């Protein structure tokens, strides 16, 4: 069973599906909208997706998620009667795990029925089946947000470090300049970060 894939995205559809190149092999991976942007990037531009292999009588379908918590919620969703992978993807495309947990806890049928493919009966079933399972997702959501912020900073650091090294700076000097930027790695775009890092290097 394929549990995780790391590679470069070489194709992406408007519905969120991606083609992930892993060592020269292209995997068709169905994913919630925005997954490629949420997945933490590596220094080489690769991303890691947590995957679920769905077996049907006539096909094997691979689903990918930016985090383990998203995959866990996807599996909870498809365990609900009459909720298949397509509907589960639609739910996660519209509501991150913490927002879904809040909607289920509040029995917010109106919010759930605004998701494509989710009617009133399905929304009521989600509330009934998932309320207990998602009770702890409030804390999980906060932990996920914190982890995402950390991953975002780590990703920005890796991209900035790679850019400086490609410009000819020694890795040890580039690393020193990147670390000098501190919390700004989470908040500023790569262009601004590069300017600031170059200023640090010029002052050394």
Q: Which of 142, 137, 140, 83 lies closest to 115, judged by CA?
A: 83
In order of 17, 70, 91, 158, the CA distances from 181 in angstroms are 35, 31, 38, 13
Give the class (CATH, top level) of 4-65: mainly beta
pLDDT tens track, the chain, 204 positions: 688 999 998 888 877 788 999 999 999 999 998 888 788 777 777 899 999 999 887 888 999 999 988 999 999 999 999 899 999 999 998 988 888 988 998 999 999 999 988 999 999 999 999 988 887 655 555 554 545 544 445 566 777 777 777 677 877 787 788 888 877 776 666 677 788 888 888 876
Q: Which CATH superfamily is domain 68-135 in?
A: 5' to 3' exonuclease, C-terminal subdomain (1.10.150.20)
Q: From CA 35, how far away is CA 175, in angstroms rounded?
A: 29
- Domain residue ranges of the chain, discontinuous segments joined by +: 4-65, 68-135, 148-203
Give the largest CA-CA distance in the chain.
65
């Amino acid at each position: 069973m394929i549990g995780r894939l790391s590679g470069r995205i070489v194709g992406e559809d408007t519905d969120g599906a991606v083609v992930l190149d892993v060592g020269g092999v292209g995997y068709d991976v169905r994913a919630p909208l925005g997954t490629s942007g949420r997945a933490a990037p590596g220094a080489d531009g690769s991303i890691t997706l947590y995957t679920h292999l769905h077996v049907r009588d006539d096909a094997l379908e691979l689903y990918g998620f930016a985090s383990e918590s998203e995959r866990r919620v996807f599996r909870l969703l498809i365990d609900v009667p009459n909720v298949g992978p397509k509907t589960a993807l639609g739910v996660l495309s519209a509501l991150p795990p913490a927002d879904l947990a809040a909607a289920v806890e509040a029995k917010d049928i109106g919010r759930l029925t605004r998701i494509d493919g989710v009617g009133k009966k399905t929304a009521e079933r989600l509330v009934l089946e998932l309320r207990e399972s998602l009770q702890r997702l409030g804390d999980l959501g906060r932990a996920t947000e914190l982890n995402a912020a950390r991953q975002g900073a780590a990703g920005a650091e890796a991209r900035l470090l790679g850019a400086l090294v490609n410009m000819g700076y020694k890795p040890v000097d580039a690393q020193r300049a990147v670390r000098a930027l501190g919390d700004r790695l989470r908040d500023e775009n790569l262009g601004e970060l590069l300017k600031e890092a170059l200023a640090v290097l010029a002052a050394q």
